Structure 1
Amino acid sequence: MSAGVPVLPGRDLPPQPFGAGWPAYWRQEAACRDGDPDAFFPPDGRNTKARAAAERRARKICSDCPVQRPCLATAIFCQEEHGVWGGLTSDERASVVPRGRLSADDALVFADRLLLSVSVAS
């Protein structure tokens, strides 16, 4: 697995809270924790059928995930450039999140806005 993969085993990982209101062990509750990381980090090549299929699989898993918000906020806060996090692709995140470092609180606010706009669009 590559660094930054949201698919993590077990409950023995250290907590990763970035601030107040951030669940300490959110990764262990993720719906993707036992899944295939290739679904969340699709193959290179823009607009390929394989990439689109992988992103659809990832979004389906993310849509029912109990920790979708902190997952997306982590990608925003850490400026993750690859993969599907919280149901949004790296291109989607890059197109709406301002460049530059955001605070942990701001990352949570952006995640809330993005998740609300995705749910309204659905």
Structure 2
Amino acid sequence: MAEVRRLPVPREGDWDWQMRAACRGKDTATFYHPENERGPSRVKREIRAKAVCAQCPVVENCLRWALAAREPYGVWGGLSVEEREALIARKPA
């Protein structure tokens, strides 16, 4: 289960960017892996998700949110969980 205590406090307007997201209305299975998905299946799904993100007008907002919230699942802002974790690990505390 996600640790919600560390989530940024929502403010009015914080989520407005989601109304313009390219993923809005798309099947969430494209962005979140099913249990035990590995190997080529996972790579193909993430490529499809990242292709949506590549066309998204709010990809920077999405990534910023995912990094701030330490989103533990799915493709957000064009990056996988592992890619976001690597970014967080490289940033100075």
Instruction: Give yes or no for the alignment of 1:67 onto 2:72.
Output: no
Deviation at 1:16, TM superposition (A): 4.7
In 1, Cα distance between the equivalents of 2:47 and 2:78?
9
Letter in 2 for 1:53: K
Q: Identify the structure with the greater helix proportion.
A: 2
Give the count of matched residue pairs. 82
Deviation at 1:73, TM superposition (A): 0.6
In 2, Cα distance between the equivalents of 1:46 and 1:97?
24
TM-score normalised by L of structure 1: 0.59
Q: 1:46 to 1:34 in 2, by over 3 A?
A: closer
Q: Which consecutive segments of 4 or more residues in structure 1 shift more than 6 A?
A: none
Unaligned runs of 5+ residues in structure 1 are 4-13, 18-23, 103-122
In 1, Cα distance between the equivalents of 2:45 and 2:12?
28
Q: Which has the higher contact order (CA 8 A, sep 6+)?
A: 2
- 1:41-80 residue pairs with structure 2 within 5 A? 41-45=32-36, 47-80=38-71
Q: What is residue 95 of structure 1 aligned with on the other side?
A: 86
In 1, Cα distance between the equivalents of 2:39 and 2:27?
19
State the Cα RMSD in Å: 2.3
Q: 1:49 to 1:69 in 2, by over 3 A?
A: same
Deviation at 1:61, TM superposition (A): 0.3
Unaligned runs of 5+ residues in structure 2 are 3-10
Percent of aligned positions with the same letter in both sequences? 37
Letter in 2 for 1:63: A
TM-score normalised by L of structure 2: 0.76
